[in-house]
Amino acid sequence: MAIVDKIRPETIEKLRGTVDFYLLRGILPVARSWPKKPKPPYTELQAEAMAVFAIANRSLRRISDNILKEWRSGSVGKKQAWTDTFRGLIMNFWKINRGIPMITLDYRLIETITEFRVEWDILQLYIDPKIEEEEYTMETNLILKSDIEKVQKPVYFTLRDSSGTRQVAPFILLDVS
């Protein structure tokens, strides 16, 4: 990978298939060798992994600006870009469970008199193309206000399933000021 001063459209077209130009973290123009796709025959596991990766990439477009802002703010100061974390969560979940985790499209923090609750807009995708995707809203109790006084600040939250496995959601700062 090499840092580039400018990426011009004519340069991109001229070197297409040999050199891949892109913006690292959306700001730094870089160039690298063109990624090579493995040639068939694939093993069943390779084909399934490629399908899951494609599903992860397509689902990136569906997240809301609200969640996108949280993903970006969570990646500031880290080596890994937020998109890599997003894809990594999906691929790691698939590696262990052979399925696709819940993907958070949006969230709303609801403050009541005694607690904070979170409403998550969830996208559930499946590897099998015959099974239709699902979109639904899920509510979780976050923390009692009386307990906030006892915990160390700052407080971050994310989405986990009933077994405690992290799903595809950023860590979100709970502003309790």
- The answer to whether residues 120 and 68 belong to one domain is yes
User: What's the CA gap between 143 and 136, in Å, rounded?
Assistant: 22
Token pair recorded at residue 47 = 């084909």
Task: Please indicate, yes or no, whether residues 31 and 83 belong to a single structural domain of this protein.
Answer: no
Judgement on whether residues 28 and 6 belong to the same structural domain of the protein: yes
53: left (phi over 0), alpha (psi -120 to 50) or beta: alpha
**pLDDT at 31 (0 to 100):** 81
| Burial class for 134, CB neighbours closer than 10 Å (0-12, 13-18, 19+) | exposed
Same domain, 21 and 49: no
Predicted pLDDT at 177: 61
* pLDDT tens across the length of the chain (177 residues): 667 777 777 877 777 778 887 777 777 778 888 777 777 777 889 889 999 999 999 999 999 999 999 999 988 888 888 999 999 999 999 999 999 999 999 999 988 888 888 999 999 999 998 999 999 999 987 778 888 878 888 888 899 988 889 999 999 888 766
- Residue showing tokens 């400018």: 6
pTM of model > 0.95: no
Structural domain that includes position 24: 1-36
161 phi and psi angles, rounded to 5 deg? -85, -175
Decide if 172 contacts 158 (C-beta within 8 A): yes
Q: Which long-range contacts (CB under 8 A, 24 or more apart) does 77-84 make?
A: 81/24, 81/25, 82/170
